[in-house]
């Protein structure tokens, strides 16, 4: 501990403190009762962030914890880890350290992207373990510019050019409006200690190349570079907000959600939108804002332009987009878990989105147009095992009133069932034979005739 000089928290000062703490007031105003996990690498920016947040919150020892992720990419990464532990002891803040194993990275994974993804997974686990609400990181205005330029190179769309969000989910970046130069002055004035990551000089990493070979030389020519580009980024964010306003207006008027959270967009109105507005609408519904790249946009454009009824597209965020006859239908992709449940008289069971029941207490025979309620001849299935299951390709039955069999796949085509409806279709079997395609037709073998003496009511209700 004697190898480092740690300034007294009460003596920390700087020319930009008023602006920084005014911004903190805005960021933290509705979070006074929350706990914060500060992601500390040991570098100068994160250590300054720690000092600033501690100075801002008088009761910081009860509100703040430190999280450090040792990526094990560098041989000397243990130095960073030990330094973070030391400063945690100096400030009397509980410190949590987690470790990554680069051997777990898939062969084709980008190292930077892998490390970032795994780092946030670890931080979120610490967040949950400590009952904290927010992760705070030390991203600043120069990081914003690096991200912006990197996204241009990746052929990002409009939302990628909006850069880093100051608050995104449970992550707060309170230093985002301030440049590296602003922060470095405070670090230098107060002799705030840190450890340096030598890989920051390795220009084989894209972000380092942008920082060292693009931004730094450019800044020497234009001292207003960072503020200028951030000004433009804020304009792009305003354009994003404007577009989102009109997209939401469109969706409010021309889309609806079903009980099971499926979204249906009126196809005629949708096709009149400019292609960028179509793509943005789908991004909004499928939680894909900011994660699509040029190839994704081109794939979705081609999918929409083909306009083939029945075709589907699976998004990066695990949604399925279906082009139907009158609608664009969007639903979350959930792998179908096939299961079988026995249905017994007098007992209610849940299968999928419905409750099913059987009753043989039928005093008065009456028929209904409700497709989820049927009467059948009880004696024809008596002592047989009744099983509810998902339909399977190749299933067939004899529809009521017919003598020949029909494949269920043909029944669905005739009834214009879309892929989501087919995926959720249930059948009721008696000793393996389909007696009800639930919600559609019963099998002719269990139909009521003049000879029927005992009746069985089959019913299902949407949950």
**327-384, pLDDT tens digit by residue?**
999 999 887 777 899 999 989 999 988 999 999 888 777 888 899 999 999 999 999 9
Percentage of the chain lying above the pLDDT 90 cut: 76
* Its pTM surpasses 0.85: no
* Residue pair 435/429 in contact by the 8 Å Cβ criterion: yes
Note whether 351 and 446 are within 8 A (CB): no
> pLDDT digit string (tens) for 46-104?
999 999 999 999 999 999 999 999 999 888 899 999 999 999 999 999 999 999 999 98
What are 352's two structure tokens? 């999928």
**Res 437: pLDDT:** 97
269-315 pLDDT tens trace: 999 999 999 999 999 999 888 778 788 889 999 999 999 999 999 99
Whole-number pLDDT of residue 363: 75
Asked if residue 420 has pLDDT above 50, the reply is yes
Q: What number of CA atoms fall less than 13 Å from residue 309's CA on the CB side?
A: 9
Condensed to tens digits (0 to 9), the pLDDT of residues 157-177 reads 777 788 899 999 999 999 999
Answer whether 362's CB lies under 8 Å from 345's CB. Answer: no
Which region holds residue 427: left if phi is over 0, alpha if psi is between -120 and 50, else beta?
beta
Q: Is the pLDDT of residue 149 over 70?
A: yes
pLDDT higher than 80, residue 181: yes
Contact 40, 67 (CB under 8 A): yes
Average pLDDT, integer, range 142-169:
89
**The predicted structure's pLDDT at residue 59:** 93
Report residue 278 CA to chain centroid gap. Answer: 20
Domain 9-226 and domain 340-462 have a common topology = no
At 457, give phi and psi (nearest 5°). Answer: -95, 125
Can you tell me the distance from the alpha carbon of 271 to that of 305, in angstroms, rounded to the nearest whole number? 9
Asked if the model's pLDDT at residue 251 lies above 90, the reply is yes
Residue boundaries of the structural domains of the chain: 9-226, 258-332, 340-462
CA distances from 148 to 8, 11, 458 (A): 36, 36, 60
- The yes-or-no verdict on residue 2 having pLDDT over 70 is no
State the Cα–Cα distance between residues 356 and 458, nearest whole angstrom: 8
1 pLDDT above the threshold of 60: no
Q: Residue 200's pLDDT is what?
A: 86
Name the CATH architecture for the domain at 340-462.
3-Layer(bba) Sandwich (3.50)
pLDDT confidence bin for 216, thresholds 50/70/90: very high
Of 444, 452, 448, 428, the C-alpha closest to 358 is 428
Helices (H) and strands (E) in the chain, counts: 15, 22
pLDDT for position 261: 87
| Token pair for 388 | 């509810």
The CA distance from 345 to 384, in Å, is: 12
* pLDDT value of residue 295: 86
Closest-CA residue to 219 (of 227, 74, 377, 271): 227
pLDDT of residue 252: 96
What pLDDT sits at residue 291? 79
pLDDT tops 80 at residue 182? yes
Q: Which CATH architecture has domain 9-226?
A: 3-Layer(aba) Sandwich (3.40)
Cα 442 from Cα 456, distance rounded (Å): 13
Give the residue carrying structure tokens 């001849």: 377
């Amino acid at each position: 501990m004697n190898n480092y000089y740690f300034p007294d928290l009460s003596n920390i000062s700087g020319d930009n403190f008023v602006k920084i703490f005014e911004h903190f007031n805005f960021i933290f105003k509705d979070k006074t009762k929350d706990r914060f996990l500060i992601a500390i690498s040991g570098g100068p920016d994160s250590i300054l962030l720690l000092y600033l947040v501690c100075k801002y919150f008088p009761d910081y020892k009860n509100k703040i914890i430190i999280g450090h992720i040792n990526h094990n990419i560098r041989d000397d990464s243990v130095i960073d880890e030990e330094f973070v532990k030391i400063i945690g002891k100096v400030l009397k803040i509980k410190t949590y350290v987690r470790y990554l194993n680069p051997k777990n990275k898939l062969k084709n994974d980008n190292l930077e992207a892998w490390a970032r993804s795994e780092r946030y997974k670890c931080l979120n686990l610490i967040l949950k373990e400590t009952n904290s609400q927010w992760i705070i990181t030390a991203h600043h205005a120069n990081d914003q510019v690096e991200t912006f330029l990197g996204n241009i190179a990746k052929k990002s769309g409009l939302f990628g050019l909006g850069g880093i969000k100051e608050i995104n989910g449970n992550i707060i970046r309170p230093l985002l409006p301030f440049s590296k130069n602003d922060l470095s002055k405070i670090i230098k004035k107060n002799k705030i200690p840190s450890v340096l990551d030598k890989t920051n000089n390795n220009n084989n990493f894209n972000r380092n190349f942008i920082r060292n070979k693009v931004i730094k030389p450019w800044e020497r020519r234009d001292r207003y570079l960072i503020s200028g580009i951030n000004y433009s980024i804020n304009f792009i964010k305003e354009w994003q907000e404007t577009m989102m306003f009109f997209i939401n207006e469109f969706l409010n008027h021309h889309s609806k959600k079903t009980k099971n959270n499926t979204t249906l967009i009126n196809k005629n109105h949708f096709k009149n939108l400019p292609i960028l507005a179509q793509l943005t609408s789908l991004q909004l519904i499928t939680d894909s804002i900011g994660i699509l790249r040029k190839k994704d946009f081109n794939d979705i454009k081609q999918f929409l332009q083909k306009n083939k009824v029945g075709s589907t597209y699976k998004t990066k965020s695990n949604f399925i987009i279906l082009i139907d006859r009158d609608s664009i239908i969007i639903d979350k992709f959930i792998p179908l878990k096939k299961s079988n449940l026995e249905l017994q008289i007098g007992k209610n069971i849940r299968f999928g989105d419905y409750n099913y029941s059987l009753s043989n207490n039928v005093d008065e025979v009456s028929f209904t147009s409700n497709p989820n309620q049927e009467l059948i001849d009880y004696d024809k299935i008596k002592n047989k095992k009744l099983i509810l299951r998902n339909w399977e390709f190749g299933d067939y039955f004899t529809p009521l009133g017919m003598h020949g069999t029909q494949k269920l796949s043909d029944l669905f085509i005739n009834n214009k069932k879309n892929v989501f409806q087919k995926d959720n279709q249930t059948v009721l079997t008696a000793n393996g034979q389909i007696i009800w395609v639930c919600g559609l037709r019963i099998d002719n073998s269990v139909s009521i005739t003049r000879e029927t003496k005992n009746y069985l009511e089959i019913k299902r209700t949407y949950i």
